[in-house]
């Protein structure tokens, strides 16, 4: 068995540590490199020490050199950092799994352009369970296509910087597509004051930020006399890490292409 060589961006962050832990436990992959910003106090330290399992891979700020030793870079950092890493990965011919959210339309187009040269898995949520929910939402929306108001409620920790979450937005896109609507035109992201009666064609979003909530998402279909709720709750970040490794294995050996977790899981 040939192991997939994994590089991890933002190694000392919450997701970085979870990715390191998952990688060191997965016999089908091997940690090849771990990156941090040049000013980080973790530069030069053993990446495995972050999770209590020394592995001999030193954290570095030299991304280009690290990518030369890797098959796939997994990145859950910030849009600006991810896009910089994407160009370095493209130059190195290294695949990439992108779990970062908060990209603009133009930035998403840049990811698509890079995927013409390298394989990229780009998804708003890497958890297998969440992607199963995406599929369930498509089915539910097609059945509940008349007489039901749709509201999406998401909650995350106090440190999350974008809202609504990428996962919530993707849920909205899935439902809107199934209903034959354009999310950009029908989304309502906040209500205050005298708003008037609810427009039945809209899809509402509500955002909660607080504490250390990893990630909760609920899509509510509210009809007359009944409510249907489809919910996913994350108890830790490990599902995101495990899904990311599954994505890395999926693109191993591929030359190029833009994929999401629905491709990885064979749900399309």
Q: Which residue has tokens 């899509």?
A: 219
CB 251 within 8 A of CB 121: yes
Please indicate whether residue 85 is annotated as part of the active site: no
Catalytic site residue from 156, 157, 233, 255: 156
Retrieve residue 106's tokens: 């133009």
Cβ-proximal residues to 186 (8 Å cutoff; 6+ apart), any chain: 176, 201, 202, 203
Catalytic site residue from 25, 84, 160, 233: 160
CB 265 within 8 A of CB 249: no
CB 20 within 8 A of CB 31: yes
Please indicate whether residue 156 is annotated as part of the active site: yes
Retrieve residue 151's tokens: 């509201």
Q: Which positions are catalytic?
A: 156, 160
């Amino acid at each position: 068995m040939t192991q997939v060589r994994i590089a991890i961006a933002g190694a000392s962050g919450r997701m970085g540590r979870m990715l390191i832990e998952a990688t060191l436990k997965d016999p089908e992959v091997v940690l090849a490199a771990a990156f941090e910003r040049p000013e980080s106090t973790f530069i030069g330290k053993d990446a495995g020490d972050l999770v209590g399992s020394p592995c001999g891979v030193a954290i570095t700020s030299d991304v280009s050199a690290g990518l030369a030793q890797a098959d796939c870079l997994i990145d859950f950092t910030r849009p600006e950092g991810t896009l910089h890493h994407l160009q370095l990965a493209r130059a190195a011919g290294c695949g990439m799994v992108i779990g970062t959210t908060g990209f603009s339309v133009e930035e998403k187009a840049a990811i698509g352009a890079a995927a013409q040269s390298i394989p990229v898995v780009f998804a708003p949520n890497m958890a297998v369970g969440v992607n199963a929910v995406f599929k369930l939402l498509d089915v539910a929306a097609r059945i509940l296509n008349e007489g039901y108001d749709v509201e999406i409620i998401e909650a995350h920790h106090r440190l999350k910087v974008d809202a609504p979450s990428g996962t919530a937005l993707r849920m909205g896109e899935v439902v809107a597509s199934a209903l034959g609507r354009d999310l950009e035109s029908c989304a309502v992201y906040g209500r205050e004051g005298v708003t008037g009666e609810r427009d039945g064609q809209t899809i509402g979003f509500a955002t909660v930020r607080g504490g250390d909530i990893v990630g909760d998402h609920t899509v509510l279909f509210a009809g007359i006399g009944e409510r249907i709720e489809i919910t996913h709750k994350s108890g830790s970040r490990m599902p995101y890490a495990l899904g990311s490794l599954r994505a890395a294995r999926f693109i191993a050996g591929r030359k190029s292409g833009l994929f999401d977790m629905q491709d990885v899981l064979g749900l399309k």
